Structure 1
Amino acid sequence: MTTGADRTVSVTVLAADRSQRRVPVTAGVDAAGLVEVTPADGAVLNPGDKVVIGQ
């Protein structure tokens, strides 16, 4: 999860072809190193999407 200069929070999703796309999200509850995210502004996250972590 990253925050841009414009304060937009997003996650990076890895596609099957190894390309990456940013998805704007709203951060929710966090605990034990995990954060709940909800797609923002009409963005889409699907079950099984691979979110890039630790860049």
Structure 2
Amino acid sequence: MVTTKDFCSMLKKQGFDFFTGVPCSILKGVINYLSEAPDIPYVPATREDEAIGIA
């Protein structure tokens, strides 16, 4: 099983450098990690269409 830290590190190595989305319980671990990571910006959105606009 891949840990949250490893998953986010893989995304960063693939060139992902900004994240946005609607908080949900399924991605709780990833969202919490991204919210606390100083080198990976995460901007929460209230709706999916808002997240698309932010991106």
Would you call these one fold, judging by a TM-score over 0.5? no
State the structure with bigger RCO (CA 8 A, min sep 6), 1 or 2. 2
TM-score range, shorter chain: under 0.3
Q: If each structure's strand is expressed as a fraction of its own residues, which one has the higher value?
A: 1
TM-score (norm 1): 0.23
Q: If each structure's helix is expressed as a fraction of its own residues, which one has the higher value?
A: 2
